[in-house]
Amino acid sequence: MKSTSRLHIPCFLLLILFLFSGCGPSTRMHALRPAEVALPGIRKLAVPAFRGAPAYRARDCFLRTLNESDRFTLVPMDQAQAVVLVTVHGSAFNDRGVDLRTIKDTRTRTVTVRDGDDNVVRSYTEEVPVKRLKRYPYVDRRLDMQLDMRVCSGSRTLAEDHVQQRFACRYGGRACPRADSDCEEGHEPLQDMPPLDRAMDDLACEAARDLAHRLIPAAYEMTVALAEGSDPRVKRGAELADQDQWGAAMQLWKAVLAGNPSDAASLYNLGVALERRGRLLDLEQAKTYYTRAADLAPTDLFLTARQRIEQRLRDALELQRRMQIGDHALQGEPGDKQTTINQQ
């Protein structure tokens, strides 16, 4: 028994090494995408009560989402640079009906056999097939929610936008034959149908959060693979970078390029090292490295990196533009502030 267990240990280790051998070195990057609704120069917002229904829950979710970001400060109306006006349009439909299904069943009956004098000769029971209709009540629920937003500064409209959310589901029916059974996709048990006002509140909250996110720059994360190349130093540098030792990794890649300026893998990896820093100058240098790597070896990895860095540069330049407009607007006179904001 001992010899068998000793054989299992190295086999287990080999399995682990095999599973992880296909996972090449990579790094995770954080990036920022400009808000869908541009409000350059605006830092202080006022959000009065929403109009329409269900307005209270929608406004509460909208404010909480804005508070989760440091992009805006929520202030009273008399201190705000801009006011967010939102109108809620909600509609709901509950169509009730009954699904009918023919059920094949059996019933037991007793058969009595008599002779000519009406004496019982024998009796027995038998199963007789029968058909019956079973009723499955259902509710088809359809909810529609639209939030219209207008951002104003004085008498000027800075931005307009809207979001829509829809919900559709059948509760009950023949797709949910029993309360304790799994339903088909798009169906739920009838007893799980929430009250209509709560369902409308939840949908309004979802739409309000979506609307608030359009005002906030979107942070996202991505995983970028490193190239290992044919030179052992390139692979070693990728391993060091995978261990977050970027300084040592960059030295190895630069040493490779000193002897071979056309090493595409080293060029690409240096681009990754610069891109992950996220600063505008670093992104511009990363684009140079990615472009050279893609020109030398137009692989999917290098071509995708060039496309990605071009988009990141556009995002970074737009964020910088909005910040510069904002700083200028906030430092100017109130009259100049209005003009600067609304020229964008």
Extended strands (E) in the chain: 26-33, 44-46, 51-52, 73-74, 82-114, 120-153, 156-172, 187-188, 218-225
Angle at 299 between CA 282 and CA 293, to 5 degrees: 35
Q: Which CATH superfamily is domain 35-92+140-217 in?
A: Lipoprotein like domain (3.30.160.150)
Which residues fall within 8 angstroms of residue 83, CB to CB, at 6 or more apart?
A: 45, 46, 47, 48, 77, 151, 152, 153
Is there a shared CATH topology between the 35-92+140-217 domain and the 225-334 domain?
A: no
Structure confidence at residue 27 (pLDDT): 94
**Position 135: which residue type?**
R
**Position 168: which residue type?**
A
**Position 324: which residue type?**
Q
pTM of the entire predicted model: 0.68
Structure confidence at residue 269 (pLDDT): 96
What is the residue extent of each domain of the chain?
35-92+140-217, 99-133, 225-334
Distance CA 294, CA 57 (A): 51
**Position 32: which residue type?**
L
Tens of each residue's pLDDT in the chain, 344 residues: 444 444 344 544 444 433 344 468 999 999 999 999 999 888 899 999 999 989 999 999 999 999 998 889 999 999 999 999 999 999 999 999 998 888 787 888 888 888 878 888 888 888 888 888 888 899 999 999 999 999 999 899 999 999 999 999 999 888 876 655 577 777 888 888 999 999 999 999 999 999 999 999 988 999 999 999 899 999 999 999 999 999 999 999 999 999 999 999 999 999 999 999 999 999 999 999 999 999 999 999 999 999 999 999 999 999 888 877 654 444 443 333 332 333 23
Structure confidence at residue 285 (pLDDT): 97
The CATH architecture one would assign to domain 225-334 is Alpha Horseshoe (1.25)
Distance CA 310, CA 283 (A): 9
101 and 174 in contact (C-beta within 8 Å)?
Answer: yes
Which is nearest to 258 in space by CA: 249, 246, 266, 268? 266
Count of helices and strands (H, E) across the chain: 9, 9
